[in-house]
């Protein structure tokens, strides 16, 4: 796996939002509330995610003793981690360890890959990372899906979904921030396509409606946006290091709209320019205005 250190050429690093309330601006004489978003920047992806989750109250807030946990990274392609097409293995392994430290009985990591799942996880550095951390990799097949009704849907009224993800005591969504030729950006909502089975090409028509339909049903308990490396062009598969920037950021929260709104700013987008995000906000799943959130910004 490539060295996690590195720098970004001038003008290459995406911008971050300034229209947020940081915890440092609050009175130090009062007990600080748990932030809506924890944004941590640092040289180590694993330390970043630990610091971000700590700001939210620690993993014990999300994982109870003997819990069954499912972690859903982005492992769509068989691509090495330095190309920023797959979730950073150090982020995922840190989350596995944190869940086990909180008392989880089982931590399973899974995704519906477009290529061989075994090859994709191995190439992404995730098989070894997950197993060394004490977790299990689930290589999905047709037997892992069950057709599920989506009561609040406008278009996608039912779809085969990974039953293990739906039945988990704790579901953690761990996307990597990257561009996407069809959807614009892949962030947390788009990443949930990885628990969908069937012919996913059908989801691309009226995508913003269908992905939000899915999000009305599937609401992860914790969302970690991996923006240590990000793919700024030619996503979602990438393949050229010139398309990779290194903001070295981890964003943690519980609301996918909030996470994705902040993720847009990391990628140099405005939240109201991402159609699926606008659709989600319009249907009451969250607010696009980052000024309405309590955002902790810190370093690790």
pLDDT digits (tens, 9 = 90+) for 263-300: 999 999 999 999 999 999 999 999 999 999 999 999 99
Calpha distance 28→121 (Å, rounded): 44
Widest CA span in the chain: 55
Residue 282 within any structural domain of the chain:
yes
Calpha distance 222→71 (Å, rounded): 10
Which residues have CB under 8 Å from 3's CB, separation 6+?
none
Q: What CATH number has the domain bearing residue 143?
A: 3.40.50.11440
**Mean pLDDT, all residues of the chain:** 91
Angle at CA of residue 251, ends 31 and 140, nearest 5°: 130
Residue 14 within any structural domain of the chain:
no
Residue 24 within any structural domain of the chain:
no
Give residue 23's pLDDT: 38
Residue 139 within any structural domain of the chain:
yes
Provide the domain limits for residue 131: 38-299
Calpha distance 274→155 (Å, rounded): 19
Residue 3 within any structural domain of the chain:
no
Write the DSSP symbol of residue 120: H
pLDDT digits (tens, 9 = 90+) for 263-273: 999 999 999 99
Which pTM value belongs to this model?
0.90
Rg value, the chain, Cα: 18
Give residue 76's pLDDT: 83
Residue 26 within any structural domain of the chain:
no
| Number of domains present in the structure of the chain | 1
Strand-pair partners of 69: 107, 170
């Amino acid at each position: 796996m490539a060295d996690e250190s590195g720098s970004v050429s001038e003008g290459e690093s995406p911008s971050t939002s300034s229209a947020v309330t940081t915890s440092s601006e609050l009175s130090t004489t009062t007990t600080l509330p748990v932030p809506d978003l924890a944004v941590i920047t640092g040289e180590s992806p694993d330390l970043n995610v630990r610091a971000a989750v700590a700001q939210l109250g620690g993993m014990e807030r999300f994982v109870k003793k003997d819990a069954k946990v499912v972690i859903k990274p982005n492992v769509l392609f068989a691509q090495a981690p330095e190309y920023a097409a797959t979730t950073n293995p150090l982020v995922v392994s840190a989350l596995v360890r944190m869940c086990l430290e909180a008392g989880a009985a089982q931590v399973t990591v899974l995704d519906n890959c477009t290529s061989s799942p075994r090859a994709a996880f191995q190439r992404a550095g995730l098989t070894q990372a997950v197993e060394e951390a004490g977790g299990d990799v689930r290589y999905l097949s047709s037997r892992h899906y069950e057709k599920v009704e989506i009561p609040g849907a406008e278009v996608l009224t039912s779809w085969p979904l990974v039953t293990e993800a739906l039945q988990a005591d704790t579901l953690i969504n761990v996307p990597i921030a990257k561009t996407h030729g069809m959807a614009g950006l892949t962030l947390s909502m788009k990443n949930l396509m990885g628990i969908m089975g069937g012919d996913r090409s059908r989801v691309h028509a009226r995508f913003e409606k269908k992905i939000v339909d899915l999000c009305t049903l599937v609401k992860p308990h914790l969302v970690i946006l991996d923006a240590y490396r990000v793919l700024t062009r030619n996503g979602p598969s990438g393949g050229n290091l010139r398309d990779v920037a290194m903001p070295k950021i981890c964003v943690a929260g519980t609301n996918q709209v909030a996470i994705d709104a902040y993720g847009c700013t990391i990628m140099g987008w405005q939240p109201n320019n991402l159609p699926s995000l606008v659709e989600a906000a319009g249907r009451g799943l969250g607010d696009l205005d980052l000024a309405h959130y309590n955002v902790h910004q810190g370093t690790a």
